Amino acid sequence: MKKALRWLNYSAVVIPFAVEKFLLEPEHFIHQAKQRFLGYQAVQQSKFSAFDIFGSSKLVDGKALYLLVETGNYQEFESAYSRLSLVKKFLHSHKLFFVRTKRKQFDFKIHKGVDRVSCGRDINLLYFVNNSSPYTQSGYTVRTAALVDSLRGRVNALSVVSRLGYPLVIGKVPESHNSVPYQALLIPKIWPFGEQKKYDLAKKMLLEICRKQDIAVIQTTSDFKNAALISDVANELGVPWIYEMRGEPHNTWLSKFPASLASEAKRSFYYRESQGRELEAAKKASAVVVLSKLSQEKLIQSGISESKVTVVPNAVDRHMKLDPRSAFAIRRKLGFQNKKIIGTISSLVSYEGLETLIRAVQFLDDDIQLVLVGDGEDRRRLFTLCKSLGVSDRVYFAGKQPANEIQGWYSIFDVFVVPRTDSTVTRNVTPIKILNALALGTPVVCSDLPALREVTGGFAMFVPPDSPTDLAVGIREAIKDPAALAAEKFWLEENTWEANSRKLAMLYRELTTES
């Protein structure tokens, strides 16, 4: 009976959620459904590269309206929509619904956090996240799990809470017996329609958890929508809240556009408002956590006090060790026992620069094999590129691998490559994957970008981004003398999650102790 009721509850969330998503974004809903059930390799990439309508006189054309919405030019869309005939207004009404829903997300107030409060008790922390293990496998969830594991002995109690409806909203069923004892899921009885109703319900459920667990500090990851919700909850409870800026969501969004559309997207309502709200969240939070000194410096230049910003970088996993047995088994299974293997473990998205890496294969010896572990929307395009260059037999797409096997995949590489493109987001945001390679003693070759220099501590071969020939030279040098690129032991020992947890525990104490 309990199982039947649970599945009835799940259906009451999933079905209305799917209907709402379809009404909001029918094209994207169908595209994502195909990706979910057919895989990235069977689905074409986004339509951005197919059109370039800016400067066109056909501003009420269907494709033009589509791109006005996709590039965040909501005001221009509404203006163009108002000039449509009644029939065309009906045909494009879902786009208007989407635009108004998106604009509504900017209306929620971000409350100023209290500077500090004397709680007179041990620290109970609530950590609000977008995704979490075991339902999502990504650098984001790896960081969350590592921080939580290292913090558990430094706070009295810790609860990780994910966004409303997760993991049902990504098509995953919650485990009946939660394997993560500190994790709470915000699963409503029925999925609410409308941004205001979703916000109100999430706030109500979070307040219930916070009061039940006597929460003294709330920490949330970006983006600004999380900041608005959590600041509201913290304001009602009278406790401090911390904004953990894990990246630059507006610039990650911008990186998905081809050059022909990027300038228009950067001038859009969505980009400008998102950028402004991220800064507002940082200014109003009780404290800010960032991943790099680069991010800290940007906030200081924006008028935020240095003392308010704590750098908690991605760190080395002390448990990451070479797994030669698994590596040998993988090499044998793939038939690469006598090959030098280069590659990466990454989402297959455009800003990762994997096109540059594939093109570099043409300039490398035949005994060098490229292996790409991971999946993403760029997979089909990259696969087609391999065929057009005639290197399909030298590039192996391994797809996404289970978390419990990933150490073996890291262990197969003779050289780990991070060929990110040169963009705003890649210059500023530090990835976590590169640290796992350094922990194993694998030589790293990466694009010469400020974020990559900082996260590696300089222990890598740096090459100009977006240059296949320079990347090939760097890879050859790394294969020739891998020991020259090994990270120093002292650096690996200093940059650990345990060191990060000490910083965070100190921050929590400062926020819960009267000066």
Q: What pLDDT band is residue 40 in, cutting at 50, 70 and 90?
A: low
Range of the domain at 9: 2-104
- Kindly state whether residue 453 falls inside one of the protein's structural domains: yes
Q: With respect to residue 113, please indicate whether it lies within any of the assigned structural domains.
A: no
Q: How far apart are CA 456 and CA 445, in angstroms?
A: 10
**Domain end call among 104, 133, 162:** 104
The predicted-structure confidence for 465-484, as pLDDT tens digits, reads as follows 999 999 999 999 999 999 98
Q: What is the CA radius of gyration of the chain?
A: 24
Q: Which helix (H) or strand (E) holds 2?
A: helix 2-24
Q: At what angle are helices 224-237 and 195-213 packed, to 10 degrees?
A: 50
Is residue 172's pLDDT more than 80? yes
Query: Residue 126 pairs with which residues in a beta bridge?
Result: 159, 218
State the Cα–Cα distance between residues 302 and 283, nearest whole angstrom.
Answer: 9
Q: How many C-beta atoms surround the C-beta of residue 483 within 10 A?
A: 7
Same domain? 505 vs 487: no
Are residues 480 and 349 both part of a single domain?
A: yes
**Do 130 and 273 sit in the same domain of this protein?**
yes
| 301 vs 61, more confident | 301
- C-alpha 95/C-alpha 81 separation (Å) is 9
Q: Which of 90-94, 152-156, 180-184, 337-341 has the least mean pLDDT?
A: 180-184
Which of 458, 488, 463, 492 shows the shortest CA–CA distance to 477? Answer: 463
Q: Which DSSP helix (H) or strand (E) runs through 408?
A: helix 406-410
DSSP string, 458-508: T-SEEE-TT-HHHHHHHHHHHHH-GGGGPPPHHHHHHSBHHHHHHHHHHHH
Same domain as 82, residue 162: no
Structure tokens belonging to residue 239: 């406790």
Are residues 280 and 333 part of one domain? no
Do 247 and 210 lie in a common domain? yes
Report the domain count for the chain: 3
The pLDDT mean for the chain works out to 89
Residue 119, in any domain of the structure: no
**pLDDT tier, 375 (very low <50, low <70, confident <90, very high otherwise):** very high
> Which residue matches tokens 């007179």?
120
Question: Span 28-48, mean pLDDT?
Answer: 63
Q: Which DSSP state fits 121?
A: S
